Amino acid sequence: MRLVLLGLPGAGKGTQGDRISEKYGIPHISTGSIIRESIASGADLGEEANGYISKGELIPDELAIRVVHERIIQPDCSRGWILDGFPRTVLQARELDQRLIKSGLGVQMAVDIRVSHVEAIERIAKRRMCSSCGAVYHLDHYRAKGKGICDKCGGDLYRRSDDTEETARRRLAVYMRQTHPVLHYYGQNGRLYSIDGVRPIDEVFADVDHYLQKLVEEGTVGEAR
């Protein structure tokens, strides 16, 4: 299974990516999470990316492409992958296709999780993340049981530095200008599937899973690379 998850910041890509990964046993690869981990650990990638991410701008294409390329050649990706937050430009989408074309194992489906800008801002403002395991919560809809503590691992919850309202608005504008054309790219060759993302997480997942069943029926889930 080789999927890309598209959608505005806050649409629920990370949330659904985790669910798909859990059900199908395929790695969920979030470029944003990889960059945040690199910033936290002081790695070179983090230093290079920090200035962009903190302003809500995209990191340069060649850097993002390198991050994904290095990740999808790892052994745990042999049965496929779920990319979340990549590709974010048409150039990234083309480059991904070109790199995968030789193996015949390109992107099978691009799932667009649709929410309004108002909903996206509300979700981002109330999101809290676990500093230890990365679990995602929401102050109203998906609260942690203990105040500021992750239900899964007991880690401290924090607010992402790019989740301020000002930076979130910037991220939405960047999405519309640079990432929205990627929908058209996948739509042109019949790989785009749109989902209404403004429903409870389980219902959104049921819709995503309905489309994933097509891949299961085609026998393309779990194929070896």
Least Å distance, CB 115 to ligand AP5, is 8
CB count in 10 Å sphere of residue 173: 12
User: What string marks each residue from 12 to 41 as x (binds Mg ion by CB under 5 A) or -?
Assistant: --x---------------------------
Residue from 1, 2, 4, 13 binding ligand AP5 (CB under 6 A): 13
Cα separation of 186 and 193, whole Å? 9
CB count in 10 Å sphere of residue 196: 11
Least Å distance, CB 219 to ligand AP5, is 29
214 given a catalytic annotation: no
Cα separation of 187 and 152, whole Å? 38
Q: Is 28 in the site for ligand AP5 (CB under 6 A)?
A: no
Closer of 14 and 80 to Mg ion (Cβ): 14
Closer of 156 and 218 to ligand AP5 (Cβ): 156
Contact stretch for ligand AP5 (CB under 6 A) within 21-29, 56-64, 93-101, 102-110: 56-64
Residue 134 phi/psi, 5-degree rounding, is: 80, 5
DSSP assignment of 133-176, as one string? T--EEETTTB--SSTTB-TTT-PBEE--TT-SHHHHHHHHHHII
Residue of closest CB approach to ligand AP5: 32
Q: Are strands 109-114 and 2-6 parallel, antiparallel or unpaired?
A: parallel
Q: Is 82 in the site for ligand AP5 (CB under 6 A)?
A: no
Q: Is 142 in the site for ligand AP5 (CB under 6 A)?
A: yes
Buried b (16+ CB within 10 A) or exposed e, 142-167: bebeeeeebeeeebebeebebbeeeb
Closer of 20 and 26 to ligand AP5 (Cβ): 20
Closer of 7 and 80 to Mg ion (Cβ): 7
Which residues ranging from 150 to 179 are in contact with ligand AP5 (CB under 6 A)?
171
Q: Is the separation of the CB atoms in 28 and 84 below 8 Å?
A: yes
Which residues are identified as catalytic?
13, 88, 127, 160, 171
